[in-house]
């Protein structure tokens, strides 16, 4: 499945209705047979360049005040002083998007998961200059958070430019798998939004096939402009400006 300007427009464009796809039934049956439920591993780098003395100091002083200490079944709003809802970002990188969302939505708690230590170090430097109270950070596997969350407790989730793992033998390492979507379906509130972005055509097709096949998610797209352009509350980041190799695609799915 390739997303392009020539791609057919989904027949059902409104929220709460699933865009029709002639291959959905066959895709779902094929996906259910794939060996995606495997022993959990965390792939990718944990460390990058050596941290500066200032970054090391922030890890010792600032990070403990923002670190998420998981408690199974705990209402995620209780990780914050006073928020109305909680959103989750998987793999926040340098934290630009996470910080922007937290600044724009002071009554929303933002939980970010990022195992890459250098990414968290960059975010801590930003937070040192712009203190903010509605962010919590988890420096490990996002699936730990998802497992600990109670049902229907998250109002929005972001999976933005994850590692595409382009080699076929590495596809099982991709974050978007059917069992991962099962987990998101459990923790997302009805009507909550799942946002996915990538510039890798192979991963986009892979993710879209699974999202379209999953009964709990509805694609909100009316036509190509909806996946070729970001919404006003979806800020660009320096990572996108410097690191992307293809045209980014922005997918928005609603939990039905």
In the chain, where the domains are located? 24-33+44-255
Q: State residue 41's pLDDT score.
A: 56
Secondary element (H or E) of residue 190:
strand 188-198
Q: State residue 237's pLDDT score.
A: 81
Q: What is the CATH number of domain 24-33+44-255?
A: 3.40.50.150
For residue 41, the tally of other CB atoms under 10 A from its CB is: 8
Q: State residue 42's pLDDT score.
A: 54
Q: State residue 170's pLDDT score.
A: 87
Separation of first and last alpha carbons in the chain: 23
Task: Tell me, yes or no, if 163 is annotated catalytic.
Answer: yes
Q: State residue 30's pLDDT score.
A: 43
Q: How much is the pTM?
A: 0.82
pLDDT lower than 50: segments of the chain: 1, 5-39, 43
Catalytic pick from 163, 179, 199, 200? 163
CA distance 79 to 216: 27
For residue 100, the tally of other CB atoms under 10 A from its CB is: 16
Q: State residue 37's pLDDT score.
A: 38
Q: State residue 246's pLDDT score.
A: 73
Q: State residue 47's pLDDT score.
A: 63
């Amino acid at each position: 499945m390739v997303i392009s300007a020539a791609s057919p427009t989904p027949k059902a464009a409104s929220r709460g209705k699933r865009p029709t796809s002639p291959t959905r039934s066959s895709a779902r049956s094929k996906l259910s047979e794939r060996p995606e439920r495997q022993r959990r591993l965390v792939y990718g780098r944990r460390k990058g360049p050596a941290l500066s003395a200032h970054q090391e100091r922030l890890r010792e002083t600032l990070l403990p005040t923002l670190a998420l200490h998981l408690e199974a079944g705990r209402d995620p709003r209780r990780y914050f002083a006073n928020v109305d809802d909680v959103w989750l970002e998987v793999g926040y990188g340098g934290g630009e998007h996470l910080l922007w969302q937290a600044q724009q939505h002071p009554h929303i708690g933002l939980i970010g998961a990022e195992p890459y230590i250098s990414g968290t170090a960059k975010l801590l430097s930003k937070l040192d200059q712009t203190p903010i109270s509605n962010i919590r950070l988890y420096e490990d596997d996002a699936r730990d958070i998802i497992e600990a969350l109670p049902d229907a407790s998250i109002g929005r989730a972001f999976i933005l430019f994850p590692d595409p793992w382009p080699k076929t033998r590495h596809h099982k390492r991709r974050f978007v798998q059917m069992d991962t979507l099962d987990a998101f379906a459990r923790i997302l509130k009805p009507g909550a939004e799942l946002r996915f972005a990538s510039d890798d055509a192979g991963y986009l097709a892979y993710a879209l096939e699974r999202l379209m096949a999953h009964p709990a998610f509805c694609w909100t797209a009316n036509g190509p402009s909806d996946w070729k352009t970001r919404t006003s509350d979806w800020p660009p980041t320096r990572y996108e400006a410097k690191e992307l190799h293809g045209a980014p695609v922005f997918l928005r799915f609603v939990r039905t």
